[in-house]
Amino acid sequence: LKWVFDEIEKRHYAIKAKYGRKGDRIAKEKCPLVNELKQGQVYVVYPNDHIRLWDIPMPSYHHKNPDQHWEVLTGIHFDWTKETIASDGSNSSKTDEKLLFGLIYEKRNPKSGKSMKWQEVIDYLALEQQKGAIVWDKPFNEMKVATLAKTFERWLKRYEQT
């Protein structure tokens, strides 16, 4: 590999000698020394020992280096507080989800009597939600049949073993 450095250095100084005063600028442009390469410049050595200088275009995006801070790069200041927001209890929990799954399962697969269709289940759940018997973060009266059926199928895979 030393021969590559020697060849580049020989070409560099030959250009400097050939062009006189302008030679230094031309040599730095056409055949810079390896330790003076600009960002995005590389020397490629081909199998026939031909050496060529290539300019590699830089991408339009910028990957953050570990020593850089993203606030300095973007100019956006970010701050947060460690206070928690009080919950009103309206969000559903895993327990609520499991109870709702059991209720829907009973309505769709009763031990005796006729099973409810999905729209009937939605109407029943919406009525119970209005009464306050069911706490759920989404209103059932706005829910589509396909949404409830898909949610139930997901719960069936999750809770069928229990």
Across 60-79, b (16+ Cβ under 10 Å) vs e yields eeeeeeeeeeeeeeeeeeee
Q: Per-residue pLDDT averaged across 26-50, rounded?
A: 91
Q: What confidence score (pLDDT) does residue 42 get? A: 92
User: Containing H/E element for 52?
Assistant: strand 51-55
pLDDT tops 90 at residue 85? no
Q: Per-residue pLDDT averaged across 83-98, rounded?
A: 66
Who wins on pLDDT, 112 or 87?
112
92 pLDDT tier (thresholds 50, 70, 90): low
88 pLDDT tier (thresholds 50, 70, 90): low
64 pLDDT tier (thresholds 50, 70, 90): confident
- Average model confidence (pLDDT) for the chain? 85
